[in-house]
Structure 1
Amino acid sequence: MNSLLKLSSLLLLSMGAFAAHAASQSVTVNYTLTIPTVCTLSGNGTSINKALPHEGTAVNQSIDVKCNVPYSIKAQSANSKGVNQSAVISTANPTLNIPYNITLTGGPNAVNVNSGVPVTVAPSATTRTDSYTLSAKTPTAIAIEDYIAGIYTDAVMVEISY
């Protein structure tokens, strides 16, 4: 019996020793996903040629912008005649010009052409494509026989900054 008591005491003491040495360790792994800045402008780096109708009908060009950061957009014509107005100018005689209206509509914010002030646009929670339409037309139909024949040109640059 004595030896049974000694054995029981020894087992209890041994179990206590194991319990006293129990511990835990941990490691925390932090994950980071970096999304780089991405902005795209349809037709970027290209020159698009459009013929301005003399009947007073509009000619349109679609422009799409997709950014995952805030961006600013502006439109400026080479031959500005004021906000949303420009002119095509004769390549043979720069004093000859034909006025026309130019607008940039659509997108989340209004953009005035030739205002010199860019419009800032914030990205949505799920980045979307902002579609704009650049539209040009003469205020009224023009009688082409009233103008000297030749090529009349203007260039409108749509620019985004981010």
Structure 2
Amino acid sequence: MNSLFKLTSVLLLSSGAITVHAASQSVTINYTLTIPTACSLSNQGTLITKTLPHNGTAVDQSIDVKCNVPYTIQASSVNRAGNNKSNVVNNSNTTLKIPYDITLTGGPIAVNVNGGASASITPSSSTKTDTYNLSAKTASPITLEDYTAGIYTDAVTVEISY
């Protein structure tokens, strides 16, 4: 009987009735991280108030543009008087105007205030931040007695598109 069991086991094993297979499975996981288009203009908020000196001294405002895509930039004044020119206007009498010069410099290219949008700008590769300087000043010192007293204002908007 013992030899019959051995013989049966040998026959079963050699006939393939009991087969052992090695197996493996795998799965591949692809990870994706999408960085959306992002741009920010300065870190000063959306409204900055500056006083234009009457002595002809320039008043400057630094503006940072941080983008991860190409962008255009433009600056325009409410009381425009040509490229890089504008007027502060008396709040009580809009016919009373004082001309002043305004420029937007720095960054990869100069931008004409009131001159439309710049060409497309590729952001700075190392920091992704481009710094511009908006500078305003009267062409020469103002003799205060020559102008009607009051508050004279203008607004310049700097805008990026991307």
Tell me by how many angstroms 1:110 deviates.
1.2
Query: Could you tell me which amino acid in structure 2 is paired with residue 145 of structure 1?
Result: E
Tell me by how many angstroms 1:29 deviates.
3.0
Compute the TM-score of the two structures, normalised by the length of structure 1.
0.80
Partner of residue 149, structure 2: 149
Tell me by how many angstroms 1:118 deviates.
3.4
Partner of residue 132, structure 1: 132
Partner of residue 46, structure 2: 46
CA contact (8 A) 2:124 2:130 kept: no
* Equivalent position SS for 2:160: strand
| Structure 1 unmatched runs, 5+ | 1-9, 15-20
| Structure 2 unmatched runs, 5+ | 1-9, 15-20
CA distance in 1, matches of 2:117, 2:64: 20
Tell me by how many angstroms 1:116 deviates.
2.0
Partner of residue 95, structure 2: 95
Tell me by how many angstroms 1:40 deviates.
0.9
The superposition leaves residues 32-87 of structure 1 with CA deviations (integer Å, 9 ceiling, x where unpaired) of 22111211111465211111111111000111010001111100000000000000
Q: How many residues align?
A: 153
CA distance in 1, matches of 2:118, 2:125: 22
Tell me by how many angstroms 1:22 deviates.
7.4
Partner of residue 67, structure 1: 67
CA distance in 1, matches of 2:98, 2:119: 28
CA contact (8 A) 2:91 2:153 kept: yes
CA contact (8 A) 1:74 1:119 kept: no
Check 1:92–1:106 CA distance in 2 against 1; reply closer, same or farther (3 A cut). Answer: same
Identity of aligned residues (%): 67
Compute the TM-score of the two structures, normalised by the length of structure 2.
0.80
Check 1:126–1:31 CA distance in 2 against 1; reply closer, same or farther (3 A cut). Answer: farther
C-alpha RMSD of matched pairs (Å): 2.8
Partner of residue 117, structure 1: 117
